[in-house]
Structure 1
Amino acid sequence: MDPDVAEQLGFTVHDVVQDLRRDVAAATLPLPIEGAEEAEASRERLLAQLDEHLLPRLGELSSPAVVVLAGSTGAGKSTLFNSLLREEVSEAGVLRPTTREPVVGVHPRDVDTLTPGPVTELARLVKHEGVPRGTALMDAPDLDSFLSENRSTAHQLLEAADLWLFVTTAARYGDALPWQALDRARERGASVAMVLNRVPKENLTTIRADLNSRLKERGMKDVPLFVVPDVGPHEGLLEPKLVEPIQRWLHLMAGPERSRTIILRTLKGALGALPEWVMGLVSAVEQQGTAAFDLRNAVEAVVPDAQVAARTSVLSGAVGEGTVATRFAELAGTHHIDRVTVRDGIARTTKRAGRNRETALARLREEIQDAAARAFVAAGVRTQEQLQTVLAGPGALPAGELLLPSGSARSEERTARGQEAAAAWCRRGDELVGRLADVAEKSEEPDAEARVAGARKAFGDSGLATLLLGAALGNEECVHVIDRVLGEITVDQIEELQDELAQQAALAVAEEARSVQSALDVPALADDAAAPLRVRLAELRRLT
């Protein structure tokens, strides 16, 4: 590779891949829609490839090329590793799994340039003159080890490798595992060589031809293939002549410059494989956005009808019946709230009687406020039930059920909000009573100012506000009292309170929808969530 290109790989591409890594990590897939699980697994593999191979390699191109001996249980990796070094460095034997601890052999003069990462963190480092300069030779755990920790370590080391020396046997080369590993290597653009171990001499020609044919079918006809004959029951190192072809090949790959070529070739292959991976992640992110868009629309479609129903419910007057009517009847019986003397349209009473009525009406006000709060909560509950049907019922959209709040937290939030809204609405009654003098002054009603003054004296400002609120709720007794003492003067105020009551009920519906939609208000589901990845994709395509 041209030195200028190598320099570009070390810097320009390194910056691009760093940016890619950041954006891939940020591209989460929160909705469990079809394909999301597979896309998330692919995303995690891509992150591992970037973290464990590409970024370390791009950051330090002078590091030895990591050659990993990988394969299934009993393939003879450790024996082959030791035979290549001509020393018992990695434990070998019949006990499975033999390779519990990965071992990496590095020439003493290459140790200082070995890039920190999974290789140095997971493997025992052995300095050995038998390792060709410019390479690091590793004996990895079995890919199919019955110990999950070993399997995980083996896959991590493969992701960090520059070259895979895959070891299988004449008896097991047809298994799924070797071909899955080779497909994985091809997918990430890694350089690969293959060792067919323990091949009976009488079957050597047939097996070699079959294996070459399989490699060709997978587009891997140029993969180096080494055949090690079966030597029968055996302990210790293999005879040198049996591993000489592999040693010669390793020495051909050795030397700082040749090693650098391997690294750069693998990097080029890995970089060439990245666009397809990133495009798959882009598609997954955009599918998440489409699903979120559909879910938002489904929730929004519930809101208009639910708001109409909530408004109709509070404007029907039903809220003013029940407990409110019961409380009014109790006060009428004990404090004669409805028996205020009215002469010539003006309430006649003493200040003391007015204060007593105002005190008594405080209990009615509590009941009115509680009834309004219950009405707002009921609007939210009905909306939640409708959303439950839309998002989790038959034919619901994928991931809809995930948006529905669970547990008591939402119920507590709904109740607290209903109480707060009801208290604010009752305070509006106080404000309107405070403006009655101005209303009376502008009114065309005969003796309007005197009627307002009489009503305020008869019930107190707070008591009169309570009666206005009760009338706005639809309580007929409150309407009757207000009509007797004020006539048409407060029609507009009562309508204003009714409108605000209906508006609060509609807001309770909107708040219920908002509480569901808030789960969709995350960057990963934004319309432009895939934009950073598309920028990285364009940069990669310019470089590869």
Structure 2
Amino acid sequence: MTPGTRSAVLGRRGGVDPNVAEQLGFTVHDVVRDLRRDVAAATLPLPVDGTEEAEASRERLLAQLDEHLLPRLAELSSPAVVVLAGSTGAGKSTLFNSLLGEEVSEAGVLRPTTREPVVGVHPRDVDTLTAGPVTELARLVKHEGVPRGTALMDAPDLDSLLKENRSTAHQLLEAADLWLFVTTAARYGDALPWQALDRAKERGASVAMVLNRVPKENLTTIRADLNARMKERGMKDVPLFVVPDVGPHEGLLDPKLVAPIQRWLNLMAGPERSRTVILRTLKGALGALPDWVTGLVTAVEQQGTVAFDLRNAVQSVVPDAQLAARTAVLSGTSGEGTVAARFAELASTDHISRVTVRDGIARTTKRAGKARETALLRLREEVEATATRAFVAAGVRTEESLQGALAGPGAPAAGETILPSATSRAKDRLAWGQRTAAEWSRLADDVVGRMADSDPDSSGTEAAARAAGARKAFGDVGLATLLQATALGNEDSANLVDRVLGETAGAAIEELQGELADQVALAVAEEARSVQSALDVPALADDAAAPLRVRLAELRRLT
């Protein structure tokens, strides 16, 4: 069915102006449907000031879209839903039963009385009642006392002791086309009635009010006071019905007492007039949407601003941390301590330094070279462990700097919340360091392999001969390990490498040192990345609010 056809059909069935039906037809439904999608996607991950309130507002907006606007826009011919709402003991069920002239909703002195919502519908309107929160949450009662074109509902107490009842009451209010709010002479000054009325006004709902159980001697005074309060809140046009106090009683109220409310409901009877209520509430709800969406846009953009500050705070740490990490590696201190101790042990027990060098070339047997290579595997383990510790240390120092920048004095909002778990980071940092150290060893093996592949004509016969002699004396892995230890700053291995390779070793050591410095700088970047990953989400992107702004522009064109 095309939008134009839909308009014509609505016009024939309900007497609605085709232009109004067109306005509230497919176009509006599509806009609201797209709005619902984008509101659901607009998360607020950073706990900054105002986020909790914005999230609550977002949830309420979703509830209104899901429980009223989308179902109602999908089917305008469904009866207008009138919900009797109010606080505990307001007399909603008694009023509901009295309006129908029959006890169909449980009423009594026990609280909460209304455990199950009841919706009364005229038998001829049952087939047109749209499926949704009303039909899912309430017990349906067919009753000829319900005016045609309306569905009259008795909802649970808004302040029920049971959380489930409170939740249901609020859901039903969101689904309503008209709120018939019931309060009493003793409780109309409480916060709850006014909070509910403010909520109705905020979402653009149509409202009427029943002031129940009013002592006759105070009726004029109380009605004037309530009217004044409603006027102060911009509700001077809200219908107000007053039901006098009849004292303790059971059963239905005298029909005369509820006659004004009954007449008012009958004024909305029939498809055409009830649809006027529906359209009025829809227009009010649509007109209220831009303010809601604007508030959400502001909250999303605030998240982006905070995320920008947090990213800058993280990045401000990186340059100094990388410089410090590179300096620590290139200073050569890593080659002291355990690496030096392990080299001394191998020199003493396995005589790895006892290599004859004649005319600058290492002279040894193949068997002796194999023995040295096997012994040097223990040094390689220590070299990789030392490199791993260098990577981990760089990460730990960066972590400390990040904690100061994000959680210390003057830190941006929500900085603490994006810091990862120290335990998980320690595990990840160690695993990354071990992988990177192993890759560094493979680079050293590759460097020695390139020595083997060097062309004597281009590198010089003497250099090639020295490299071949060194590889024979220590094996490829052993020679690579000695180059690594030298790159770490170990003097003993440096002296040995100089004896067997001379100037040939210079480029190899420089390459290994450069790679080690690059990787330790990368360890710093990896630490920063682990923090920034919490900010690399669509909700914190620079254009996160763009879809909502598009929806806002569409809503403003409609309203």
Structures share fold, TM-score greater than 0.5: yes
In the alignment, what sits opposite 2:464? Answer: 449
Amino acid at match of 2:425: R
The CA deviation at 1:520 is 0.8
1:76 maps onto 2:91 in alignment: yes
Structure 2 match to 1:511: 526
Name the residue aligned to 1:246. Answer: 261
**Does 1:321 pair with 2:323?**
no
What amino acid is the match of 1:205? T
Shift of 1:397: 1.7
Deviation at 1:443, TM superposition (A): 4.4
Partner-residue secondary structure (3-state), 2:533: helix
Equivalent in the alignment of 2:444: 429
1 CA distance for matches of 2:293 and 2:57? 10
Q: Is 2:476 aligned against 1:491?
A: no
The residue aligned with 1:169 is 184
1:120 aligns with 2:135: yes
Structure 2 distance, partners of 1:507, 1:460, is 31
Instruction: Name the amino acid aligned to 1:531.
Output: A
Alignment of 1:101-112 (within 5 A): 101-112=116-127
Q: Which whole-Å CA distance do the structure 2 matches of 1:208 and 1:414 have between them?
A: 71
Query: Is the contact between residue 70 and residue 139 of structure 1 (CA under 8 Å) also seen in structure 2?
Result: yes
CA offset at residue 341 of structure 1? 1.4
Structure 2 distance, partners of 1:66, 1:50, is: 16
Amino acid corresponding to residue 472 of structure 2 in structure 1: K
SS at 1:408 equivalent: helix
Find the counterpart in structure 1 of residue 362 from structure 2. Answer: 347
Say whether 1:290 aligns with 2:330: no
Distance 1:144 1:535 in 2: 38
Structure 2 counterpart of 1:343, one-letter code: R
SS of the counterpart of 1:472? helix
SS at match of 1:137: strand
Aligned-pair CA distance for 1:10? 2.2
Structure 2 residue corresponding to 1:183, chosen from 190, 198, 204: 198
Counterpart position of 2:416: 401
Equivalent positions of 1:216-365 (< 5 A) are 216-365=231-380
Q: Secondary structure at the match of 1:435?
A: helix
Q: Is 1:100 aligned to residue 119 of structure 2?
A: no
Paired residue type of 1:265: R
Counterpart of 2:123, as a letter, is P
Q: Deviations over 1:370-418 (max 9, x none)?
A: 1111111111111111111211223322221121111533222211111
Shift of 1:434: 1.8
| Rounded Cα–Cα distance in structure 1 between residues aligned with 2:262 and 2:25 | 30
Listed one character per residue, the Cα deviations across residues 491-531 of structure 1 (whole Å, up to 9, x for unaligned) are: 11111110000000000110111111111111111111100
How big is the shift at 1:537?
Answer: 0.3
Letter in 1 for 2:474: F
Instruction: Note if 1:136 corresponds to 2:151.
Output: yes
Please name the residue that 1:367 is paired with.
Answer: 382
How much does 1:345 deviate? Answer: 1.7
Q: TM-score, normalised by structure 2?
A: 0.95
Partner AA of 2:247 in structure 1: G
**2:399 corresponds to 1:384:** yes
- 1:243-279 deviation digits (Å, cap 9, x = unpaired): 1110000000111111111000000000000000000
Q: Deviations over 1:115-155 (max 9, x none)?
A: 11111111111000000000000111111111111111111
Q: CA 1:174 to 1:401, structure 2 compared with 1: closer, same or farther past 3 Å? A: same
Partner of 2:6: none
* Letter aligned with residue 36 of structure 2: R
Q: Which residue of 2 aligns with 1:463?
A: 478
Cα pair distance change 1:410/1:390, threshold 3 Å: same
1:439 deviates by: 7.1
1:148 maps to which of 163, 166, 169 = 163
Per mean C-alpha deviation after superposition, the further-off stretch among 281-290 and 335-344 is 335-344
In 2: Cα distance, 1:491 partner to 1:83 partner: 101
Give the Cα separation in 2 of the matches to 1:426 and 1:191: 75
Q: Which amino acid aligns with 1:73?
A: T
Q: Which amino acid aligns with 1:415?
A: L
Distance 2:173 2:446 in 1: 74
- Matched residues in 1 for 2:104 and 2:158: separation? 20
Contact kept in structure 2, 1:10 and 1:60, CA below 8 Å: no
Of 43, 52, 55, the residue aligned with 2:67 is: 52
* Identical columns (%): 83
- Residues in 1 aligned to 2:306 and 2:495: alpha-carbon distance in whole angstroms: 54
Aligned to 2:210: 195
Q: Do the aligned partners of 1:443 and 1:489 also contact (CA within 8 Å) in 2?
A: no
Secondary structure of the residue that 2:84 maps to in structure 1?
A: strand
Matched, 1:11 2:60: no
Q: 1:415 to 1:506 in 2, by over 3 A?
A: same
Contact 1:440-1:489 at 8 Å conserved across structures: no
Aligned 8 A contact 1:441 1:449 in 2: no
Q: Does 1:25 align with 2:75?
A: no
Q: Distance in 2 between matches of 1:87 and 1:304?
A: 79
* 1:428 Cα deviation after fit: 1.2
For 1:335 and 1:197, locate their aligned partners in 2 and report how far apart those are by CA, in whole Å: 102
Counterpart of 2:112, as a letter, is: P
Name structure 2 gaps, 5 residues minimum: 1-15
* Paired residues of 1:101 and 1:124 also in contact (CA < 8 A): yes
Alpha-carbon separation, structure 2, partners of 1:458 and 1:292? 57
- Calculate the aligned-residue CA RMSD, in Å: 1.3
Q: For the residues of structure 1 that align with 2:236 and 2:542, how far apart are their CA atoms?
A: 44
Tell me the distance in 2 between the aligned counterparts of 1:407 and 1:139.
Answer: 54
The offset of 1:4, in angstroms, is: 1.9
Q: CA deviation at 1:339?
A: 2.3
Structure 2 counterpart of 1:133, which letter? R
In structure 2, what residue type is equivalent to 1:247?
A: Q
Q: What's the CA shift string for 1:204-246, capped at 9, x where partnerless? A: 1111111111111111111111111111221111111111110
Q: For each residue in 1:6-55, what CA deviation from the matched residue of structure 2 results, as whole angstroms up to 9, or x when unmatched?
A: 23302110000000000000000111111111000000000000000000
CA contact (8 A) 1:379 1:505 kept: yes
CA distance in 1, matches of 2:395, 2:190: 59
Q: Contact conserved, 1:69 with 1:81, CA < 8 A, in 2? A: yes
1:2 corresponds in structure 2 to: 17
- Equivalent AA in structure 2 for residue 109 of structure 1: R
Equivalenced residues, count: 543
Q: Indicate conservation of the 8 Å contact 1:439/1:489, yes or no.
A: no
Alignment deviations for residues 293-320 of structure 1 (CA, whole Å, 9 cap, x no partner): 1111111111100000110111111111
Q: 1:89 and 2:104 equivalent?
A: yes
Structure 1 unaligned blocks of 5 or more: none
